[in-house]
């Protein structure tokens, strides 16, 4: 019965003049953490330039708010805004016990990730495809009891800068595609984020790191060629957020919550501050307005919102995990609790409208047009694009294929849009 059905589909495809794909197209999604949209402007990047000529470059893309690593990566995997996928922070926390877990430990808190939204690995596998992931945030978790079938979880205390390891990981992933016939892999590099934080986005160290990434881009494409994947593999490169310079050395009046008249940490039962430019507060019962009124308008570069007043465009309110008061600062400023304890020269986590928060986007492969530069789009739209190329039915998401389909080569060379029954 199935064979008759597929034979009919083949006939129908010929009747419509659409050639049947010889083999299914593959997708490799790569994130270079913190690669700002304009990082190729002050560095010689021959490999990124070649990739743009061979494929598609977006001027920039807009990440979801909150512009930090874990939540924005989960948006890439799900196509949902952060309030909708629920992985709202890099840190797992429990407001009852006051417990918090840092970024790496949070990778292993299953219920933080597995809270109703399925990442693309699971959806692809449920529809008969094979998926893998290397170091991508969310890889360590299971989702409704399922995991990516091939996975490499980032080791603890991993050296993000090691170019040799980058090459080994690249060859490992290309081997998965060739030898295990995977259809989709997500792959994560922790740079240039670390360098951008430590030295600032305008530093010579950041420019050197972009050169290293450019060499790696060349290596990735060569490796795809060596593994015989070029005519089937689509490579999408983007990032989770950008980076901006933090004002230091007494240049500005820093935001220190404990110094704000009328504000007291004793009115809070839980808080997440000292985490770059964003913060969330849970006031004790009856203290919400006191805390809010003390903070609102207290510093010209501090934004204070009750959860229900959050601007709709940020899509960061409608989730039980988001705390009742949300704070963020303007570019250049971070939010300190008791005293300044943050010494990064570069930071992210700001409003996603800020140009410095926008990541880069490149795509190359048989599904994409060549030598095409497109305007900006939101990163929620990358998920439906990937589902389209893979020929799978997406889960409910906040993206639209309409936002990206102009980047695709003619319909004949892709699998075609999934037609649901
Ligand atoms: Zn970072």
What string of H, E and C letters represents the secondary structure of 311-350? CHHHCCCCCCCCCCEEEEECCCCCEECCCCCCCCCEECCC
* Adjacent-strand bridge partners of 268: 283
What's CA 390's distance to the chain center, in Å? 19
| Furthest-apart CA atoms within the chain: distance in Å | 76
The answer to whether residue 62 is catalytic is no
Q: Could you tell me the distance, in angstroms and rounded to a whole number, from the CA of residue 373 to the centre of ligand 1?
A: 27
* Residue 332 Ramachandran class (φ > 0 left, ψ -120 to 50 alpha, else beta): left
Is there a contact between 102 and 336 (Cβ–Cβ < 8 Å)? no
CATH code of 255-343, in short, is 3.30.1360.180
Structure tokens, 147: 């995991």
Neighbours of ion ligand 1 (CB under 5 A): 193
Q: How far is the CA of 313 from the centre of ligand 1 (A)?
A: 23
- pLDDT tens per residue across all 421 residues of the chain: 444 444 444 444 444 434 444 578 999 999 999 999 999 999 999 999 999 999 999 999 999 999 999 999 999 999 999 999 999 999 999 999 999 999 999 999 999 999 999 999 999 999 999 999 999 999 999 999 999 999 999 999 899 999 999 999 999 999 999 999 999 999 999 999 999 999 999 999 999 999 999 999 999 999 999 999 999 999 999 999 999 999 876 778 999 999 999 999 999 999 999 889 999 999 999 999 999 999 999 999 999 999 999 999 999 999 999 999 999 999 999 999 998 877 899 999 999 999 999 999 999 999 999 999 999 999 999 999 999 999 999 999 999 999 999 999 975 444 544 433 2
Q: Which of 67, 69, 75, 139 is catalytic?
A: 69
Centre of ligand 1 to C-alpha 68, Å, is: 7
Distance 83 CA to ligand 1 centre (A): 20
Question: Tens digit of pLDDT for each residue in 113-140?
Answer: 999 999 999 999 999 999 999 999 999 9
The residue written with tokens 């990434």 in the block is 213
Residue 219's contacts (CB-CB under 8 Å, 6 or more residues apart) are 166, 167, 170
| Cα-based angle 83, 88, 89 (whole degrees, multiple of 5) | 160
Cα 331 to ligand 1 centre (Å): 15
Domain boundaries, the chain: 26-246+353-407, 255-343
User: What secondary structure letter does DSSP report for 266?
Assistant: G
Nearest-10 Cα torsion for 156, 160, 161, 162: 50
Residue that is written with structure tokens 């003390």 in the block? 294
Gap between the Cα atoms of 183 and 10, Å rounded: 21
* Among the four given CATH numbers 3.40.720.10, 3.40.50.2000, 3.30.450.20, 3.30.1130.10, the one describing domain 26-246+353-407: 3.40.720.10
How far is the centre of ligand 1, averaged over its atoms, from the C-alpha of 87 (Å)? 16
Residue length, the chain?
Answer: 421
CA of 232 to the centre of ligand 1 (A): 33
């Amino acid at each position: 019965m199935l064979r008759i059905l597929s034979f009919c589909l083949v006939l129908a495809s010929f009747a419509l003049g659409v050639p049947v794909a010889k083999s299914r197209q593959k997708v490799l999604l790569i994130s270079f953490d913190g690669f700002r949209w304009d990082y190729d402007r002050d560095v010689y990047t021959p490999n990124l330039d070649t990739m743009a000529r061979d494929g598609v470059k977006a001027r920039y893309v807009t990440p979801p708010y909150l512009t930090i690593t874990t939540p924005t990566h989960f948006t890439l995997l799900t196509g949902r805004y952060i309030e909708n996928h629920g992985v709202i922070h890099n840190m797992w926390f429990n407001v009852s016990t006051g417990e918090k877990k840092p970024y790496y430990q949070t990778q292993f808190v299953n219920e933080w990730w597995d809270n109703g939204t399925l990442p693309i690995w699971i959806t692809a596998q449920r529809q008969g495809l094979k998926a893998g992931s290397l170091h991508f945030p969310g890889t360590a978790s299971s989702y409704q009891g399922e995991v990516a079938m091939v996975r490499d979880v980032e080791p603890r205390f991993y050296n993000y800068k090691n170019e040799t390891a980058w090459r080994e990981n690249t060859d490992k992933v290309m081997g998965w595609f060739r030898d295990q016939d995977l259809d989709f892999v997500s792959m994560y590099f922790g740079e240039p984020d670390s360098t951008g934080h430590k030295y600032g986005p305008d530093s010579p160290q950041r420019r050197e790191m972009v050169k290293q990434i450019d060499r790696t881009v060349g290596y990735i494409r060569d490796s795809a060629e060596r593994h015989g994947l070029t005519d089937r593999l689509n490579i999408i490169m983007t990032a989770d957020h950008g980076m901006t310079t933090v004002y230091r050395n007494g240049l500005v009046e820093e935001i220190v919550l404990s110094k704000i008249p009328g504000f007291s940490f004793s009115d809070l039962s839980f808080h997440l501050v000292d985490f770059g430019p964003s913060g969330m507060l849970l006031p004790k019962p009856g203290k919400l307005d006191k805390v809010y009124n003390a903070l609102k308008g207290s510093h010209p570069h501090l934004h204070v919102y009750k959860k229900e007043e959050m601007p709709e465009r940020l899509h960061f309110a409608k989730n039980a995990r988001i705390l009742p008061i949300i704070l963020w600062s303007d570019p250049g400023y971070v939010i300190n609790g008791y005293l300044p304890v943050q010494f990064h020269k570069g930071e992210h986590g700001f409003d996603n409208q800020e140009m410095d928060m926008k990541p880069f986007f490149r795509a190359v492969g048989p599904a994409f047009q060549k030598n095409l530069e497109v305007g900006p789009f939101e990163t929620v739209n990358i998920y439906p694009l990937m589902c389209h190329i893979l020929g799978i039915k997406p889960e409910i998401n906040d993206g639209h294929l309409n936002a990206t389909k102009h980047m695709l080569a003619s319909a004949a060379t892709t699998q075609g849009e999934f037609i649901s029954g």
